[in-house]
């Protein structure tokens, strides 16, 4: 958890001068990587946030002129989101800073080190998802620490 907090703090130091927070930067980054409009529901899923939370974030990004919502022609109830030119320019401006940060952080780690680490983290995520999907009454119970 400490690593995640420190990483996020460093990313925030890159986002803040551009008027972004981690909440607004991550949707922007996903949309830039996708290179095409993404459904709001899918974007919420990718960001692991609830739909109403994403709507508030997208409202902020729209107000800043960074994204736009489009009708999904295949599903009239759904909305697609895409970057505007201004959003793409902003993403292009922060990418070199993020790349430099990642290069510093991964200094000394080989591609194989990173691949293995990501594989282990993927296993942890899969196992945690399966564990949390179990009914609470059949999960192993925590035992209180016994004072010595």
Tell me: pLDDT of 1 over 90.
Answer: no
**How high is the mean pLDDT of the chain?**
90
Q: Which two tokens stand for residue 108?
A: 């000394």
Q: Answer yes or no: do 83 and 125 share one domain.
A: no
Per-residue pLDDT reduced to its tens digit, 106-132: 999 999 999 999 999 999 999 998 888
Q: Give me the domain span that covers residue 95.
A: 2-105
CA-nearest of 59, 29, 77 to 68 is: 59
Question: 118: burial class by Cβ within 10 Å (0-12, 13-18, 19+)?
Answer: exposed
d(CA 40, CA 106): 32
Q: Answer yes or no: do 80 and 132 share one domain.
A: no
Question: 67: burial class by Cβ within 10 Å (0-12, 13-18, 19+)?
Answer: buried
Q: What percent of the chain has pLDDT over 90?
A: 73
Q: Answer yes or no: do 62 and 121 share one domain.
A: no
Per-residue pLDDT reduced to its tens digit, 75-112: 888 899 999 999 999 999 999 999 999 999 999 999 99
Per-residue pLDDT reduced to its tens digit, 20-31: 998 999 999 999
Q: What is the pLDDT of residue 146?
A: 54
What is the number of structural domains in the chain?
2
Q: Answer yes or no: do 59 and 19 share one domain.
A: yes
Q: Answer yes or no: do 128 and 85 share one domain.
A: no
Q: Is residue 143 part of a domain?
A: no
Q: What is the pLDDT of residue 145?
A: 59
Say what the alpha-carbon torsion angle 87, 48, 34, 106 is, to the nearest 10 degrees.
90
Q: Which residues pair with 71 in a beta bridge?
A: 79
CATH number at residue 11: 1.10.10.10
């Amino acid at each position: 958890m400490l690593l995640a907090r420190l990483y996020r703090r460093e990313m925030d130091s890159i986002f803040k001068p551009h008027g972004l927070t981690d909440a607004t930067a991550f949707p922007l980054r996903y949309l830039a990587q996708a290179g095409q409009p993404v459904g709001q529901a899918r974007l919420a899923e990718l960001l692991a946030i609830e739909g109403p939370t994403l709507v508030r974030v997208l409202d902020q990004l729209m107000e800043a002129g960074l994204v736009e919502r489009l009708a999904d022609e295949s599903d009239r109830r759904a909305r697609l989101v895409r970057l505007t030119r201004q959003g793409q320019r902003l993403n292009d401006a922060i990418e070199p800073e993020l790349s430099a940060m990642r290069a510093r952080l991964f200094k000394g780690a080989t591609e194989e080190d990173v691949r293995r680490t990501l594989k282990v983290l993927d296993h942890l995520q899969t196992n945690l998802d399966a564990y949390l999907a179990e009914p609470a009454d059949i999960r192993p119970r925590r035992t209180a620490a016994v004072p010595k």
